[in-house]
């Protein structure tokens, strides 16, 4: 059987960064030539970044994508490249236009003035220009996906290209997930190798699901499948890469690493076929280099806790880098959440780019301040103390005059948190640093946070991390440090003490909430699994507790709408995944 050498360009695309994306694609294509690849695969919408969202409604954005595609089509003496982009609605989305040197090349043109008449596409580019286009058939409209808002489903015949007598069927992400769907149709039409361009966001357990699905599809179609995935952070989403190739039996024969840009070279054996549009993959090759290329590397996948930690680091790094922030600041309370956020920030952008602020009040314990400074010492970051007692007294006095009573209880507690938020935002304004908030998913779920206080900031690093998982991540990071021969970044005292906001004397979280070991499974059922109160009670939870927690979650929606974006690591995060109305009269107990 013929053997085809594929290059999977696992790239970190920038939404709307056409020049950067073209440069990245050209770099990977040039590297692929040095490795004698027959075909280079890039991820879904690699030319424009994913997800572009309402940029797709701007005509100038579509025009820029067309111009960028023309830049890619001019390359010579390079292997054919599959590029993720958008094309106009129609059977092919392409029309022929003569090039300046007289050759016929293919040019992407809009057939309608409305930029919404577009399809999600994979375009084959060779020395002959743009020679074939596949359009995405199945448009996901669940979880974080909203593709029916922007794209029309692909129409016309499925696309097959032929390289070295191998019929390569082109698919885009969702098209490979469906039993007896586009992948099966391509196999019936003669494809003997399937390639899939993907922008599949990270979530816990997602890699195992992908590889199980690819095994099923390979057995169904009797074709090997090459699956290239995007890598990098984009707002709340993180793409983990882990591109993979399976043979016709569904066995993994190559896998790229997680959370890294990488060019994965793999040789795939496929049945000979004359189906498809013939593409000349010949170009000048250095056979000496070819022999030395490492092919079919199978990277060992990280553990689940390692995956999550890497996702948080990459999501934070790319949010700062792609939005132009050079430095980050955060409040250091000496607690577990701020300790984890500070550690992630240092791993993401380096110690010199992170600065902590300890802001003790009259209720802050001496050991918490000591823990904050010890953490900073271990992380080698600068830390500054700004005592808030003077401001606390001044604000309390002004409120007392306005209300004719001394502020107390929750009013006084939230006042302290808001003073800290004002100070951090003031430093942000003065220095251009982004404020990293330190609230976790458990707190945000039940509203155990202060609007314009601990929620004030530009990026919520652990927004989708439950409190119990915060502890697991801290232990993992300490264990990793020991394995590397480094000091543990998070002091043991931080891990051992009871969590507390320290906004009143002897305060502990479990005075207001159930223990997190009880709370987090309830929240997972209600928020991530959409379980009803009845189902939660039937599973063994106390009825009063269930109704109380679900009520807190529902009433806190208005707070969550005002929280900054943060890294998504679960299959249902607050924000893109879970869109609940704020004004909402439905209550579980009303059933």
> Residue 290: its pLDDT value, please?
61
Q: Is residue 551 part of a domain?
A: no
> What's the pLDDT tens digit per position in 493-535?
999 888 776 667 777 777 888 999 999 999 999 999 999 999 9
Nearest to 314 by CA among 399, 240, 384: 240
Pairing of strands 166-172, 193-198: parallel
| Residue 587 covered by a domain | no
Q: What pLDDT score does 104 carry?
A: 37
For 139-153, 325-339, 341-355, 534-548, which range has the lowest pLDDT when averaged over its residues?
A: 139-153
Among 507, 525, 542, give the residue marking a domain's end.
Answer: 507
- Would you place residue 116 in the very low, low, confident or very high pLDDT band (cuts 50, 70, 90)? low
| Structure-token pair, residue 11 | 């790239």
For 14-47, what is each residue's pLDDT tens digit? Answer: 999 999 999 999 999 999 999 999 999 999 999 9
Q: What are phi and psi of 282, to 5 degrees?
A: -80, 135
Catalytic residue among 89, 127, 147, 173: 173
Check whether residue 293 and residue 316 sit in a common domain.
no
112, 170, 190, 226, 264 from 162: Cα distances, Å: 31, 11, 10, 15, 21
How would residue 407 be classed by pLDDT, with cut points 50, 70 and 90? confident
Residue 144: which pLDDT band, with cuts at 50, 70 and 90?
confident
The DSSP H or E segment spanning 196 is strand 193-198
Active site residue 44: yes
* Catalytic position from the list 44, 262, 307, 413: 44
Query: What pLDDT, on a 0 to 100 scale, did the predictor assign at position 589?
Result: 61
HEC string for 385-452:
ECCCHHHHHHHHHHHHHHHCCCCCHHHHHHHHHHHHHHHHHHHHHHHCCEEEECCCHHHHHHCCCCCC
Residue 289 has what pLDDT? 60
Which of 301, 329, 354 is the C-terminal boundary of a domain?
A: 301
pLDDT at site 101: 36
Q: Mark whether 275 and 322 lie in a shared domain.
A: no
- What span, in angstroms and rounded, lies between the C-alpha atoms of 309 and 341? 11
For residue 549, is it within any domain? no
Q: Is the pLDDT of residue 106 over 60?
A: no
Between the alpha carbon of residue 583 and those of residues 2, 513, 580, 586, the distances in Å are 61, 24, 9, 9
- Cis ω before 80 (30° cut-off from 0): no
| Confidence (pLDDT) at 266 | 97
d(CA 394, CA 390): 6
The pLDDT of 63-85, averaged and rounded, is 89
Task: Look at residue 107 and tell me whether its pLDDT is greater than 50.
Answer: no
- Is 354 found in the same domain as 267? no
Residue 113 has pLDDT above 80, yes or no: no
**Pair of tokens at residue 26:** 């050209």
Is residue 261 predicted with pLDDT exceeding 80? yes
Q: Are residues 291 and 440 in the same domain?
A: no
Instruction: Give the mean model confidence (pLDDT) for residues 399-416.
Output: 88
In this prediction, residue 587 has a pLDDT band, given cuts at 50, 70 and 90, of: confident
> CB within 8 A of 378, min separation 6: which ones?
487, 488, 489, 490, 491
267 - beta bridge partners? 5
Are 18 and 87 in the same domain? yes
Q: Is the pLDDT of residue 548 over 90?
A: yes
Whether residue 512 is contained in a domain is answered as no
Assess if residue 273 is contained within a domain.
Answer: yes
Give pLDDT, residue 288: 55
Same domain, 230 and 323: no
Query: What was the pLDDT predicted at 188?
Result: 95
pLDDT at 147 over 70: yes
Give the rounded percent of residues in the chain with a pLDDT score beyond 70.
93
Higher-scoring residue by pLDDT: 130, 421: 421
The whole-chain average pLDDT of the chain stands at 89
CB of 160 closer than 8 Å to CB of 270: no
- So what's the pLDDT on residue 109? 37
**Domain of 361?**
305-507
- Residue 276 pLDDT: 85
Q: Are residues 119 and 187 in the same domain?
A: yes
How far, CA to CA in Å, does 416 sit from each of 40, 410, 428? 56, 10, 19
Domain count, the chain: 2
CA distance 390 to 396: 10
**What pLDDT, on the 0 to 100 scale, is given for residue 553?**
93
Co-location of 167 and 21 in the same domain: yes
At residue 467, the pLDDT reads: 95
Please pick, among 127, 136, 174, 528, the residue that the annotation labels catalytic.
136
What SS3 state is found at 382? strand
CATH number at residue 133: 3.60.110.10
Q: Which residue has the higher pLDDT, 366 or 378?
A: 378
Please give the share of the chain, as a percent, with pLDDT higher than 90. 71
In this structure, the strands spanning 434-437 and 459-460 are parallel
> Active site includes 479?
no
Measured between alpha carbons, how far is 358 from 346 in angstroms, rounded to an integer?
Answer: 17
Q: How deeply is 267 buried, as exposed, middle or buried, from its count of CB atoms within 10 A (0-12, 13-18, 19+)?
A: middle
- The mean pLDDT of 475-492, rounded to a whole number, is 95
What pLDDT band is residue 94 in, cutting at 50, 70 and 90?
A: very low
- Whether 367 has a pLDDT exceeding 90, the answer reads no
Per the document, the length of the chain is 591
- Looking at the structure, do residues 257 and 349 belong to the same domain, yes or no? no
* pTM of the predicted structure, to 2 decimals: 0.91
**Same domain membership, residue 120 and residue 101:** yes
DSSP annotation of 557 reads H
Joined together, the tokens standing for residue 442 give 């458990």
Choosing from 455, 476, 507, the residue where a domain stops is 507
Residue 354 lies in a domain: yes
Round to whole Å and give the CA distance between 181 and 213: 13
What does the angle CA 182 – CA 183 – CA 187 come to, to the nearest 5 degrees? 115
Residue 59 sits in the same domain as residue 144:
yes
Does residue 561 lie in a domain region? no
pLDDT mean over 270-274: 93
Q: In this structure, what CATH number is given to the domain that contains residue 466?
A: 3.40.50.620
> Which of the residue ranges 120-129, 460-469, 481-490 would you say has the lowest mean pLDDT?
120-129
58 catalytic? Reply is no
Residue 396 sits in the same domain as residue 337? yes
Looking at the domain assignment, is residue 586 inside a domain?
Answer: no
């Amino acid at each position: 059987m013929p053997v085809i050498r594929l290059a999977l360009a696992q790239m970190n695309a920038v939404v709307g960064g056409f020049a950067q994306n073209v440069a990245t694609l050209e770099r990977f294509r040039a590297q692929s030539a040095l490795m004698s690849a027959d075909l280079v695969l890039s991820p879904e919408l690699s030319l424009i970044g994913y997800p572009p969202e309402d940029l797709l409604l701007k005509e100038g954005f579509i025009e820029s994508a067309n111009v960028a595609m023309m830049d890619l089509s001019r390359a010579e003496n390079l292997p054919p490249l599959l590029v993720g982009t958008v094309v106009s609605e129609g059977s092919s989305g392409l029309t022929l236009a003569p090039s300046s040197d007289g050759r016929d090349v293919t040019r992407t043109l809009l057939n309608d003035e409305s930029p919404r008449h577009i399809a999600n596409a994979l375009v084959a580019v060779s020395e002959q220009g743009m020679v074939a286009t596949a359009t995405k058939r199945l448009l996901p409209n669940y979880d974080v996906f909203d593709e029916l808002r922007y794209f029309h489903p692909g129409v016309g015949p499925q696309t097959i290209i032929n390289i070295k007598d191998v019929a390569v069927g082109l698919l885009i992400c969702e098209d490979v997930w469906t039993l007896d769907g586009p992948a099966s149709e391509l196999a019936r039409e003669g494809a003997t190798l399937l390639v899939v361009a993907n922008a599949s966001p990270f979530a816990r357990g997602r890699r195992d699901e992908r590889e199980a699905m690819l095994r099923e599809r390979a057995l169904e179609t009797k074709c090997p499948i090459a699956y290239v995935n995007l890598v990098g952070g984009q707002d709340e989403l993180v793409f983990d890469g882990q591109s993979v190739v399976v043979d016709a039996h569904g066995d993994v024969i190559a896998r790229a690493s997680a959370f890294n840009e990488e060019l994965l070279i793999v040789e795939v054996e496929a049945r000979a076929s004359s189906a498809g549009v013939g593409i000349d993959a010949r170009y000048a090759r250095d056979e000496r280099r070819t022999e030395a290329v490492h092919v079919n590397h199978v990277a060992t996948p990280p553990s689940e806790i390692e995956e999550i930690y890497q996702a948080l680091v990459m999501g934070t790094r790319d949010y700062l880098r792609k939005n132009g922030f050079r430095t980050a600041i955060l409040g250091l309370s000496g607690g577990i959440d701020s300790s984890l956020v500070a550690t992630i920030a240092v791993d993401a952008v380096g110690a010199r780019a992170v600065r902590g602020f300890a802001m003790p009040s009259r209720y802050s314990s001496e050991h918490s301040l000591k823990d904050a400074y010890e953490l900073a010492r271990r992380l080698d970051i600068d830390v500054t103390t700004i005592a808030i007692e003077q401001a606390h007294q001044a604000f309390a006095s002004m409120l007392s005059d306005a209300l004719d009573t001394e502020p107390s209880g929750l009013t006084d507690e939230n006042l302290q948190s808001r003073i800290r938020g004002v100070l951090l935002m003031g430093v942000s304004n003065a220095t251009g640093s982004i404020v990293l908030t330190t609230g976790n998913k458990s707190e945000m779920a039940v509203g155990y946070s202060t609007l314009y206080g601990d929620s004030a900031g530009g990026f919520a690093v652990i927004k989708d991390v439950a409190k119990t998982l915060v502890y697991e991540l801290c232990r993992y990071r300490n264990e990793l440090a020991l394995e590397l021969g480094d000091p543990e970044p998070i002091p043991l005292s931080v891990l051992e003490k009871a969590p507390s906001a320290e906004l009143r004397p002897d305060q502990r979280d479990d005075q207001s909430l159930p223990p997190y070991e009880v709370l987090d499974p309830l929240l997972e059922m209600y928020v991530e699994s959409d379980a009803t109160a009845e189902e939660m009670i039937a599973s063994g939870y106390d009825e009063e507790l269930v109704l109380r927690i679900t009520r807190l979650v529902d009433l806190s929606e208005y707070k969550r709408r005002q929280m900054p974006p943060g890294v998504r690591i679960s299959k249902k995060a607050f924000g893109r995944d879970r869109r609940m109305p704020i004004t909402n009269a439905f209550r579980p107990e009303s059933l």
